[in-house]
Amino acid sequence: MEFNGMNPYDTVIVDTVYDENNQIYEDPGGSYPLPDHFGDGEYSETQTILVDGGERFGVSSVVFDHQEELLWMGNQGGHVTSYYSPAVQKYTSFQVHPTEEVRDIHTFEEGILALTPSSLRCQMRRGIPIYTHTSANLLEMQCFIQISPTNILMGGHQPHLINFDFNTGQETQLLQVGDNGCAILRLHNRFICAGDPFGNITLLDPITLQAEHHLETYSGSLSDFDIHGNLLVTCGFSQRQGNLTVDRFLMVYDFRMMRAVSPIPVVVDPLLLKFLPSFSSRVAVVSSLGQMQLVDTVALSETELCLYQINTANSPLTMDVSPSCQYISIGDAGGHIHLFSSSAPNASFNSFSRDTEFADPVETLPSIGFDDYEVPLSTIPMPFIPSDTKLASYWPEEYLKKVYWPTPSIDPEILKSMKIQGTIGYAPNPMITKRNQVPYNMDKRNNPKTKNYSNGDSSNRGGSQDPVAIPKRYRKLELKHSNKDDIDFEPYNKTMFCGLEANLPNNYCNVMLEILYFLEPIRCMALGHLCSKEFCLCCELSFLFNMLDNSQKVPCQASNFLRAFRTVPEASALGLILSDQNPESKKKTNLIRLIQSWNRFILHQLHFETLETRKRKLSEMERRRNASESPRGRVNYASRNGDFPSGEHGNDEWYRHYRGKSQVTTAEDDSSGAAGLEGANDKDDETEVSRLFGMKQLQINRCLRCNTDINKESTLLLCNLVYLKDGAGKEQSFGQVLSKSLCPEQTTPAWCDKCNKFRPTLQLKRLESLPHILALNCGMDNQNDKDFWQSQMDVLVGNVTKQTDNATNNSGSNGESGKPATTQTKLCRYGEHCNRTNCRFRHPGQEIEKPVSSNSSQLYYTHPWLPTHIQIDLDNTGNVEIRKLMDSDLEKPHEVGELKQSVRYDLMGVVCHITESEEKKNLVAFVNVGKKYHERVGSSGDSQWYLFNNFSVTHVPEQEVTWFNLEWKVPCVLYWINRDLPTQFCPTTIPNPITADVFGEDKCIARDRGRKRITFMPLGFDEMPKKGELVAMDAEFVTLNQEEAELRSDGKLSTIKPSHMSVARVTCVRGQGMLEGTPFIDDYISTQEQVYDYLTKFSGIQPGDLDANFSSKHLTTLKSTYLKLRFLVDIGVKFVGHGLKNDFRVINILVPPEQIIDTVLLFHLPHQRMISLRFLAWHFLGVKIQSVTHDSIEDARTALQLYYHYLKLEEQGIVQKSLEKLYEVGKSMKWTVPDDTESTLQWEASDEEV
C-alpha cells in the first residue's frame, strides 16, 4: 500500500486524507494543518532534548535501563549520558572512548556495558569506571547481548563471535560465524539470533552456540529485526534493477514452523523497528524521514492507520522501547533524543524500578541570630587548630570557675518513704536505674531556642528522644548475615527454650507463634493435625511445633509457615503480607494494628482449616462405607487419601466482620423457630479452636418505638477492648473495661420491619457461654486509647499514694516517729533565701505540687492496672461480672452457685510493641510457660514468665509483664487461659499422624505426570527403612531474590540482606540392601513464587522444571516431600550427605545430630578449610563428578560411597594419615580437579601412597 500524501518537511497536507474507514478520497479544496499523528493517538512526543555533544555528534545508541528509571544515550563521539525519569533530567555523563562512537549499551545489576568498535567499557551508573577491555579480537564491533547472568556475546564486522565473562573481564570462547560477520544480535528463549549485513539471520543454540537454522530475509541488506513470542519481524533493502531500494514489506517468520508467513505492508520506508512488549502483536516502525508507524502483525483485517511524525529534520539512527511499553525513545543524527509517551496515567520506564542513588545533599550550617546568646557554639564545626594556638574565645583562668554537674532530682515517692537520722536520709533503692546512670535534662531539650540543634545529633545517631533507657532484652536484634552459621546464641538465651530467627519477611508474627506454641491445647491440636491441603497453616504449625519441641536453645526458622502464609488470599486481602522489596513502606507499617489483625486472622484460619479437614474426613468415611456396602464388594487401593495433594481452598465466605470483631455465624435468627436444626448446625461447625476460643454471643436489636426484638446468635473467637472516649481521669478497673467490651450496648438508627422505617434501635450483646481461652486485642493504635490506659495507671497509683499518706499522717498523730512530714506541708527553713537546687521543701509563694506521674516509679511497678488473675461470672441474663483475683483468692475453693457459668482465668501471654526509635520498632512476647513444658525439656519448677524477642529468650519476673511505659512499651494482645482447663484438651500422648502411607500418597502434579523421565524406584512395603539404617540424601536450591551487599571501607563485602533460598529438588538414595545406591525419592518441588536465579550451574535445575505446565520431571509439592522426610526422621534413619546442615536448614526440618553423617565433617581437619564433594570423590574414589552441572542423585551416591570408604580407613586406622595426605594434595593442586589424563595418573599415585 503506497502512501505519498505527506511530506515531512511541509507544514500542510494537500488533497490526500483518510476517512474513518481508512479509505482514500480526494478533497476538492483547501489544505489541512499537519497533525503529528494519525489514528487513535496512543503515543505523543513529550520530550525533545539536545544531548551532550549533540552539536557535533549524532546519537548512535539509546537504551532504557531495566533496573532503574534511567535512559542511556551514547553518541558518535564516544560519550555516554544518562537521564533520570520521564522528565529527562541529566543524571550522569562520562567519556568511554576518545574518538570512537558508542555502538551499543547494555545495563545489568551492578552497572552498564558500553561497546565501541575496539573496546568494551564497564561503568558504574554513578559514572565510576570499573574496567576497560581491549584485545586483538575486538575489531569493528557492532552489537552484544547478555546470554547468562555473567556472560555476554559480542559480534561485529568480523568472522568471530566473542563469548565474554563480564564479571572476570575475560574472553572465554571464540565462535566462527563466517566472513559476513554479525551486525545485529537478538535473544529468544529458544535461540540466539544473529543477523549479518547481507540479509541472512542465523539461529544459534543458546547452550552450545552452534548454528541450528538459517533464514534469508532480503536480497540486498538487513536493516533491523526484532523478536517477540514466536515471531521474528525484519526490515531491510532489496535488489531492484541492480540498485538497493527500501523494501516496503516487513518479513515475518514463525519459529514454530521455521518459515516465513505473510509479509506486512507499511506506508513508510522502514529503517528501524521494535516490538512493543506489552502488545505481542504490535511493532513500532521508524523511517529515515522521521515517520513512525504502529503495525499489528496478526490482525486478520485492515486496522486503523496509526502514524506519527517525529519533530526532527535529521535521520533517526537508533530507537528503543521501555520495558513498561509506555515510552519510545528515538535518537537522530542531529544529536537529539525524542521521547514518545503513552496516554497511561503515571507512566514510567519500568513497572518495578529500584531507587536510583543520588549524590548526598550538601549540608549547610544552621543560621544563628546575631542577638541570640543561647545558641551553643558547638553547633559550628571547628577547623583543625594546632595545640599551641589559642582561640579567640579563650578565657583567662582568673575569669573561670569550676562547677559540677547538678544533682539529679529524686523521685517524690522515694522521698516519702525516706527516714532521716541527723542530716542523712535513708530510703530503699527501687533498683530502676543502673549505676551512675543520669537522665537527660529535659528542660534544656525542650527549649525552643536550642531544640533544633539538640535534635540534630540524636537523629543522626538514630537515638530516641525518650530519656528512659530501654533494656537490651527489649531492643530489636540485628545480626550480621555473613556469619550466620558461626553465631553463638548462648548470650541471647540462657534458658532451655528456643526462639525463632528474624531474618525472613513477615517475621513480625514470631511473637504470636511463640504464644500459640506455649498454649498446650493449641500445641496438642496442631501436632495431631494432618490434612491433604498443600498450603495449610495448621499443618505448618504442626511442623514448626515439632521443631520447637526437639530443638533446645537453638533457634528455629518459620520459613515454611511463612511460605504458606504468603499464599493465603485472605492474608493478602487484609494487608498482612509485607513486601520485602520496599523497606521504606515497611518502616511506616503500624505494627500494633498489624499484629492484632494477624491475631484475628490466625484464629479464624485455624478454625476453618480444622473444620474443612473434619468435613473432608467425614465425607471420605461416608464414601468408603458406601463402597463397602456396594454389591461389587470392597476394592483395595494401593494409595490412601487419594486427594493428596489437594488444591481446595478454605470457605472464604464464612469470614464476616462486625464492628471490628470477626464472627462465625453458627445459627439463624431465633424467630425462625428451628432450635433443633440450629443445635445440629452448631455441633457440625464446632472445632477444637471454637471449643477453646469460642464465646456464644446473642445479639439483640430492639426497636425503641415498637419494642420488637430481633435476635441473632454468633460465635466470637476474639474480643477487642473498647475504651471510653472521655474516660481519662475516671477510675475504671480492667474488669469493668473488659465487661463493657464483651457485652456492649449502644443506640443507633436501624431499619425496623414492623415499623417499616428507620427507628432508634438499642443494640445489646449478651454472652451465652465463656471460652476456655480468652483472646483480647488491646487496640492502643491511637492516642486516645493510650491516654485512657495511662490515666487509669495514674489514678491507681494516686489512690495508693493517698492511702500511704493517710497512714503516715495517722502514725504521726499518734506520736509515732520514723517518717517525716510530707513535702507539701513542711516549709524550708531558709525560706526565700534558699539557693539549693531541687529543694524538696516548700517555699513561700510556691504552689503545692501534685505527685509526679512517672512510669519508672516503684508504685507503677508493684501496682499494675492489668491483673494477672481474673474471675468472670456469667449469669442467666447474659451479663458478666469481672473481678480481680489476689493470690489469696486462688487458694479458696471455686463456687459457681446460681451462676450460669464462672471461670477463673490466668494471664498467659502478652504481646508488646517496643519503640526504640522511629527506625527501630519491634514486637516482643511475654509467655507464662507451664509446668509441662519445663518437664519436657528436663527442667524442674512451676510455671514461669519468659520474654521472647525472636531468638532472645530471658526469664523475667511477673511484675515486669504487667508494667507498661506507654512511651516505648505498649500492650497489643492479651491471652488468658482457664485455670481449671478440662484435661480432654491436653492429652498426655499425641499419636504421630505421619505414617508410611505418605509414600503411597505421592502424586506428580506435572501435566505429563513425569512418565517420560522416572528417575527413582519407590519403596516397597517390605523395604521401609528402620531405625539406624542409612539413607543418602542431597538437595538442590534456587534463589527467590538477589543478595544485597555493601562494600565497607576496609574493602570487605558486608551482607545487608541475604538471598532467600528455596528448595527445588530433594533426592534420597537407599543406603543398604540389594538396591543400594538406587534412589527412592527424587522430587522436584513446585513453587508459586517467582524464581530470581535457578543456579543451573550449581543445581542442575533448568527454567521450566518447577512449572507444572512445562515440567517433564516428577514434580510434587513441598509438603508432600516434607512429610516423607519427616517420616524418615521420626523412625530414626541416619542421613548421609555432603553439607546436610544447610540442606536441612533450607528445607526447614529439624534432624537430631546423631542422625546426621556429614562427609564434609568426616573428611576435615580442625582449623582447616572444608573440602568440596567433587575433590573428595576424585581423591578417594577416582571419579569425576559435577563436570558440567550438579545432579543430586550423583551427589548422594558419591557421599554414600565416601562414607563407606571412611569406614574402611577407620577400620585400617589410617584416617588421620589419609586426611593429612588429602590436604597436602589439595594445597598442591589448589583444590581443583585436573583433566582426565592428569587425573588418572595423580589419583593412582596418591592411592598408592595411602
198-252 pLDDT tens trace: 999 999 999 899 999 999 999 899 999 999 989 999 999 998 888 889 999 999 9
**pLDDT at residue 854, as a whole number:** 46
Question: What is the rounded distance in angstroms from the CA atom of residue 142 to the CA atom of residue 224?
Answer: 13
Q: In which band, very low, low, confident or very high, does the pLDDT at 429 lie, cut at 50, 70 and 90?
A: confident
Question: What is the rounded distance in angstroms from the CA atom of residue 453 to the CA atom of residue 1221?
Answer: 66
List residues forming the annotated binding site for a divalent metal cation.
Answer: 1034, 1036, 1143, 1195
* Cα distances (angstroms) measured from residue 866 to each of 260, 473, 515, 853: 80, 22, 18, 18
For residue 883, count CB atoms less than 10 angstroms from its CB and return exposed for 0-12, middle for 13-18, buried for 19 or more.
middle
> How many CA atoms, within 13 angstroms, populate the side-chain half-sphere of residue 927?
27
- When mean pLDDT is compared over 415-424, 636-645, 805-814, 978-987, the highest value belongs to 978-987
Q: In which band, very low, low, confident or very high, does the pLDDT at 675 lie, cut at 50, 70 and 90?
A: very low
Question: What is the rounded distance in angstroms from the CA atom of residue 925 to the CA atom of residue 916?
Answer: 16
Radius of gyration of the chain (CA): 39
Average pLDDT over residues 934-940: 83
Domain membership of residue 1019 (yes or no) is: yes
Average pLDDT over residues 727-731: 71
Query: Which residues are CB-contacts of 291 (< 8 A; sequence separation ≥ 6)?
Result: 6, 8, 268, 307, 308, 309, 310
**pLDDT at residue 41, as a whole number:** 64
Classify residue 1177 by its DSSP letter: I
Residue 1087 has pLDDT above 70, yes or no: yes
- When mean pLDDT is compared over 7-11, 74-78, 1004-1008, 1191-1195, the highest value belongs to 74-78
CB 237 within 8 A of CB 223: yes
**pLDDT at residue 166, as a whole number:** 93
**pLDDT at residue 1219, as a whole number:** 95
**Range in 96-110, 269-283, 405-419 with the lowest mean pLDDT:** 405-419
Domain membership of residue 1026 (yes or no) is: yes
Average pLDDT over residues 375-380: 77
Domain membership of residue 44 (yes or no) is: no
Question: What is the rounded distance in angstroms from the CA atom of residue 1041 to the CA atom of residue 922?
Answer: 24
CB 779 within 8 A of CB 720: yes
**pLDDT at residue 12, as a whole number:** 33
> How many CA atoms, within 13 angstroms, populate the side-chain half-sphere of residue 174?
11
Question: Phi first, then psi: what are they for 875, rounded to 5°?
Answer: -95, 180
Q: Which carries the bigger pLDDT value, residue 771 or residue 373?
A: 771
Question: What is the rounded distance in angstroms from the CA atom of residue 874 to the CA atom of residue 893?
Answer: 18
Q: Which three cell numbers stand for residue 819?
A: 517518717
Classify residue 367 by its DSSP letter: P
Question: What is the rounded distance in angstroms from the CA atom of residue 1022 to the CA atom of residue 1019?
Answer: 8
Looking up residue 1240, the CATH number of its domain turns out to be 3.30.420.10
1192-1246 pLDDT tens trace: 999 999 999 999 999 999 999 999 999 999 999 999 999 998 876 444 445 444 4
Domain membership of residue 839 (yes or no) is: no
For residue 454, count CB atoms less than 10 angstroms from its CB and return exposed for 0-12, middle for 13-18, buried for 19 or more.
middle
Q: Is the dihedral of CA 787, 792, 796, 801 positive or negative?
A: positive
Question: What is the rounded distance in angstroms from the CA atom of residue 160 to the CA atom of residue 173?
Answer: 10
Q: Where are the alpha helices (DSSP H) in 731-782?
A: 734-742
**pLDDT at residue 302, as a whole number:** 64
Domain membership of residue 1109 (yes or no) is: yes
CA neighbor of 120 nearest in space, from 91, 98, 97: 97
Q: In which band, very low, low, confident or very high, does the pLDDT at 965 lie, cut at 50, 70 and 90?
A: very high
Bridge partners (DSSP) of residue 100 are none
Residue 31 has pLDDT above 70, yes or no: no
Question: What is the rounded distance in angstroms from the CA atom of residue 103 to the CA atom of residue 78?
Answer: 9
List residues forming the annotated binding site.
Answer: 1034, 1036, 1143, 1195
171-197 pLDDT tens trace: 999 999 988 899 999 999 999 999 999
Q: Would you list the DSSP string of 1047-1073? A: E-TTS-EEEEE---EEEEEEEEEE-SS
Question: Side chain identity at 735, as an amino acid letter?
Answer: G
Q: Which three cell numbers stand for residue 778?
A: 488491646
Q: Which carries the bigger pLDDT value, residue 994 or residue 650?
A: 994
For residue 1016, count CB atoms less than 10 angstroms from its CB and return exposed for 0-12, middle for 13-18, buried for 19 or more.
middle
Question: What is the rounded distance in angstroms from the CA atom of residue 82 to the CA atom of residue 102?
Answer: 14
Domain membership of residue 187 (yes or no) is: no
**pLDDT at residue 19, as a whole number:** 40
Residue 987 has pLDDT above 80, yes or no: yes
Domain membership of residue 207 (yes or no) is: no
* Cα distances (angstroms) measured from residue 63 to each of 68, 189, 283: 12, 21, 17
Question: What is the rounded distance in angstroms from the CA atom of residue 715 to the CA atom of residue 682?
Answer: 9
In the chain, the N- to C-terminal Cα span, in Å, equals 83
Q: pTM of the full predicted structure?
A: 0.60
378-424 pLDDT tens trace: 777 777 788 778 878 788 888 888 887 777 778 877 887 788 777 78
Average pLDDT over residues 862-890: 92
Structural domain including 1088 reads: 996-1249
Domain membership of residue 313 (yes or no) is: no
**Range in 160-169, 851-860, 1011-1020, 1143-1152 with the lowest mean pLDDT:** 851-860
**pLDDT at residue 639, as a whole number:** 34
Question: Side chain identity at 1217, as an amino acid letter?
Answer: K
**pLDDT at residue 1094, as a whole number:** 86
Question: What is the rounded distance in angstroms from the CA atom of residue 1145 to the CA atom of residue 1142?
Answer: 5
Report the chain's mean pLDDT, rounded to a whole number. Answer: 82
Q: Which three cell numbers stand for residue 707?
A: 419494642
Q: Which three cell numbers stand for residue 760?
A: 432508634
CA neighbor of 499 nearest in space, from 541, 551, 542, 461: 551
Average pLDDT over residues 255-282: 88
Average pLDDT over residues 1102-1117: 85
Residue 3 has pLDDT above 50, yes or no: no
Residue 1146 has pLDDT above 80, yes or no: yes
What percent of the chain clears pLDDT 70, i.e. is strictly above it?
82
Looking at the structure of the chain, the number of domains it has is: 1
Show the CA angle centred on residue 628, arms to residues 623 and 631, nearest 5°. 115
Show the CA angle centred on residue 1166, arms to residues 1161 and 1171, nearest 5°. 45
Q: In which band, very low, low, confident or very high, does the pLDDT at 457 lie, cut at 50, 70 and 90?
A: very low
**pLDDT at residue 694, as a whole number:** 93
**pLDDT at residue 240, as a whole number:** 86
**pLDDT at residue 263, as a whole number:** 93
Classify residue 1180 by its DSSP letter: I
What percent of the chain clears pLDDT 90, i.e. is strictly above it?
52
Residue 456 has pLDDT above 80, yes or no: no
Query: Which residues are CB-contacts of 1126 (< 8 A; sequence separation ≥ 6)?
Result: 543, 546, 994, 1149
**pLDDT at residue 1101, as a whole number:** 87
1043-1076 pLDDT tens trace: 777 776 666 777 777 788 899 999 999 999 999 9
**pLDDT at residue 479, as a whole number:** 72
Average pLDDT over residues 1090-1104: 84
Q: Which carries the bigger pLDDT value, residue 686 or residue 552?
A: 686
Quote helix, strand, coil % in the chain, to nearest 5: 25, 30, 45
Q: Which three cell numbers stand for residue 654?
A: 464464612
How many helices and strands (H and E) does the chain possess? 26, 58
